[in-house]
Amino acid sequence: MVRLLACIAAHALLARLLPPWTVPNLTLIGLVQASGSSPGRWLPLSLIAGLSGAMWAVEGAGPLILSYLAAGGIVRGVSGQLDTAEPRVQTMLAAALSVPLTAGWIWLDGHWSWTLAGCFLMHLVMTWCAALLLQRRSAEVSG
Partner 1 sequence: MVVSEPARQTALSVIRWPFAAAKSAVQLLISLPVLPHLSQERDRLQADLIRQQEELARLREALRQSQQAQLLEAAHPVAAGIVASVIGRSTVPTQQTILLDKGRRHGLTPDSLILDASGVIGRVIDLQPEACLVLLLTDPDSRVAGLIERSRETGLLVGRGSGMCELIYLDIQADIQEGDRLVTAGLGGNFPKGLLLGTVVQVTRDEQSWATRALVKPAANFSRLEDVMCLPRQP
Which member of 43, 56, 88, 133 binds partner 1 (CB under 8 A)? Answer: 56
* Shortest distance (Å) from residue 26 CB to partner 1: 8
Instruction: List Cα–Cα distances, 35 to 31, 83, 100, 136, in angstroms.
Output: 6, 12, 18, 18
The H or E element that residue 90 is part of is helix 87-109
Q: Can residue 3 be called a binding residue for partner 1 (CB under 8 A)?
A: no
Closest of 75, 6, 81 to residue 37, by C-alpha: 75
Cβ proximity to partner 1: between 15 and 82 the closer is 15
Query: Do the Cβ atoms of 4 and 45 come closer than 8 Å?
Result: yes
51 vs 121: CA distance, rounded Å: 25
Query: Do the Cβ atoms of 68 and 4 come closer than 8 Å?
Result: no
Q: How many residues does the structure list for the chain? A: 143
Q: Can residue 31 be called a binding residue for partner 1 (CB under 8 A)?
A: no
Which member of 18, 99, 121, 129 binds partner 1 (CB under 8 A)? Answer: 18
Binding track over 68-107 against partner 1, x by CB under 8 A: ----------------------------------x--xx-
Q: Can residue 143 be called a binding residue for partner 1 (CB under 8 A)?
A: no
Which residues are near partner 1 by CB under 8 A?
Answer: 8, 11-12, 15-16, 18-21, 23, 25, 27, 52-53, 56-60, 64, 102, 105-106, 108-111, 113, 115-116, 118-119, 123
